[in-house]
Amino acid sequence: MPHNIKFGTDGFRAIIAEDFTFKNVELITKSIAIYIKNRYGADKPVLIGYDTRFMADKFAKFSAEILQSLGYKVLLSNAFLPTPAIAYCAKHLCSAGAIMFTASHNPPEYCGIKYIPDYAGPATNAITDEIVANIGIEPQPSGKKHEIQTFCAKDYYFAALEELIDFDKIKTLKTKIIFDPLYATAQGYFDTILNKNGIEVTTIHNWTDPLYGGHMPEPKEQYLGELKQLVLSNQNAVGFSNDGDADRYGVFDENGEYVTPNEVMTILLNHLIKYKKAKGKLIKTVAGSLMLDKTAEIYNIEVIETAVGFKHVGEAMRENPTIIGGEESGGLSIGVHIPEKDGILANLLVLEAMAYAQKPLFELKKEIKELIKTNYINKRYDLKLSEEQKQKMLDLFLNTPPTSFAGKAVTKTCKKDGVKFYMDDNNSWILIRFSGTEPLLRIYFESPDENFIEQAFNEIKRTC
């Protein structure tokens, strides 16, 4: 019987040798096989890839052998690879989708498995619900026997990026580019495609370490100290990073200041409209900044707001003409690419935005704040509570919502994902929701008033 298999916002993740076991990989692979046969038949190839985590390549090979034994055609990646690269190939190699072994930005002791359909984006709830419902059902072999083939995603993916990014324009920058792949899958991708197009990059931590240097493989400021110091010690330098499977990004400007995902998305929205003449809508989550909404309003761009999780963003991108879609946790893509977050593309677009404007990144940040005439402060607090405490707290705010926080009146609530409160200053909001990837209750704040954020958080903590 399945053991603690639960799909979150982006597949199944668990601690290796506890719940992430070969037995559970077998159960999930077979359940995906049933879904594939029902949806595509058994003749299209299934792609399988993996990141740099401990045993990820072994789990991938094991999964490939199970599918082979059931009569499926299998294409197994010849090396570790980023999620956006295998997602791109899932669509453009006419496959029945892909199985990716990754736990993204989770701690080193985790591994994960997710199914990527042939539209190249995260599986929707309807798809994962069907996969979960298949767990424990034994699929029927087709009687066919195919040799497991290997594939290299890099050439296909690089060709796609070279269609999207103006590398000749980036060549005109005089800025030093420093890159930290965090010992993970972006090594040999972001830096290599820039080198391939005649652009120099200084790369650190470009070897495989399944312990990620003793840190989280997450491109947040607290894990990028060495990158920050290198940016500060070099004149006119910018820093870039990606997470464990390269679907998230991290950016430092020339002053060594971390550029938040909300700021990056807003800079890129402005760039894509102003210089690339992109048409369509802005897709953002309920945790995304109002700076995006205000920029969209200036350009008369429609905004679609989704629940948190790129599967919701990706679904909206597939249903709407899109300029850019993304989330505050560091994932984005553009409408002419794939509906899957792509941290490598995001980093390249930042360089392209600098090159088109012929301005340093810190000036692009400053311009955005001047454009929207508001300096927003964003904070997120993660509370480790028991399941009972988390549910009790969320139920309290859902069922008996407060009428005010820290002296600001609540004018509107949204229950698209947890509960979101909008304040009467039209510039502040609070979002309370469960994490879909970690056992946490997340509390998000945005306001130009830092005192409001601190006071409101203290009010919420007192309810725990």
Residue 239's SS3 state is: strand
pLDDT for 144 = 85
Q: Return all residues near 452 (Cβ < 8 A) that are at least 6 apart.
A: 405, 406, 407, 408, 423, 428
Which residues in the chain come in under a pLDDT of 50? 1-2
- Give the model confidence (pLDDT) of 280-333 as tens digits: 999 999 999 999 999 999 999 999 999 999 999 999 999 999 999 999 999 999
pLDDT for 454 = 95
> What does DSSP say about strands 249-252 and 281-285: parallel, antiparallel, or unpaired?
unpaired
| Number of residues written out for the chain | 464
pLDDT for 1 = 43
Compute φ and ψ for 173, nearest 5 degrees. -70, 140
Q: Return all residues near 282 (Cβ < 8 A) that are at least 6 apart.
A: 269, 292, 296, 301, 302, 303, 304, 322, 323, 324, 325
- Give the model confidence (pLDDT) of 278-294 as tens digits: 999 999 999 999 999 99
Residue 378's SS3 state is: strand
Question: Which residue has tokens 């995304």?
Answer: 288
Q: Return all residues near 446 (Cβ < 8 A) that are at least 6 apart.
A: 289, 290, 376, 377, 378, 428, 429
